[in-house]
Amino acid sequence: MTELMRSWVIGITGMSLITSVTMAIVPKGRVRKTVSLICGMAMIVVLVSPVLDFDYDIFAQYVSGYSYDTDVQEKNLDEENERLTRRIIQEEVDAYILDKAQSIGCADVTVSTQTKMDEDGAWYPWEVTVEGEFTSEQQLQLQNTIEGDIGIPPERQYWSTSDE
C-alpha cells in the first residue's frame, strides 16, 4: 500500500515538473493552448493511474486479513473480559465471606470461591472452600450466611480447620 502511494506521489511530482518546464518554454498563442490541454490530460492520467492499476485481489486479501485480525482481537478481548469478570466475582465473594467471618469472631480464615457460568453466559458463585479456626456455632452461622446471602448450598461448601 505504501509503495503504491509512494509511486503515485513521485508520478505526480514528475509530471508536474515536466508540465511546468514545457509550459515555460512554449510560446504564447494557439500552440500554448494546445500544449496546456495536453499537459492537463497528462496530469489527469497520472492522477487516475492508481485506480487503473489498482490490484483488487491484493486489496481484498488485505481487507480479509485485517478482518481476520479484528476477529481474533475481539475473541481475545472477550476471553480476557470473561476471565476478569470471573476473577472479580470470586474476589468479591471471598471478601464478603471473610468480612462475615471476622464479624462473628473467626480468626485466620482463608476463603476460595469457584464460579460457574450459567446458560445465559453470566458467572455466579458455585462452591466455596473455607479454611480457618472456628467453632461449630461459628461454622453453622457462616454456613447459613453463605447459603442465604450468596446462594451456595451447604453441599458445595467445604470446611477445614487450620490444624487438619
Q: Percent of the chain having pLDDT more than 90? A: 54
Residue 120 grid coordinates = 445465559
Q: pLDDT tens, 53-73?
A: 777 777 777 777 777 778 888
pLDDT over threshold 60, residue 164: no
DSSP secondary structure letter of residue 27: P
Confidence of residue 2 (pLDDT cuts 50, 70, 90): confident
- Tell me if 142 sits within 8 A of 100, measured CB to CB: yes
Higher pLDDT, 108 or 98: 98
Predicted local distance difference test score (pLDDT) of residue 163:
58
> Residue 72: its pLDDT value, please?
82
Amino acid making up residue 88: I
For 37-66, the DSSP string reads: HHHHHHHHHHHHHHHHH--HHHHHHHHHHH
Whether 94 has a pLDDT exceeding 90, the answer reads yes
Phi-psi region of 124 (alpha: psi -120 to 50; beta: other; left: phi over 0): beta
Rg of the chain (C-alpha set): 37
Q: Are strands 157-161 and 123-133 parallel, antiparallel or unpaired?
A: parallel
pLDDT at 84: 94
Q: What ranges do the domains of the chain cover?
A: 2-54, 85-161
pLDDT at 113 over 90: yes
Report the pLDDT value the prediction gives residue 1, as an integer from 0 to 100. 61
What average pLDDT does the chain have?
88
CATH pick for 85-161 out of 3.30.300.10, 3.40.720.10, 1.10.150.240, 2.60.120.10: 3.30.300.10
Residue 152 predicted with pLDDT over 70: yes
Query: Angle formed by the axes of helices 56-103 and 136-145, to 10°?
Result: 140
3-state SS class at 159 = strand
pLDDT of residue 156: 95
**Confidence (pTM):** 0.58
For residue 158, give the H/E element and its range.
strand 157-161
108 and 133 Cβ atoms separated by less than 8 Å: yes
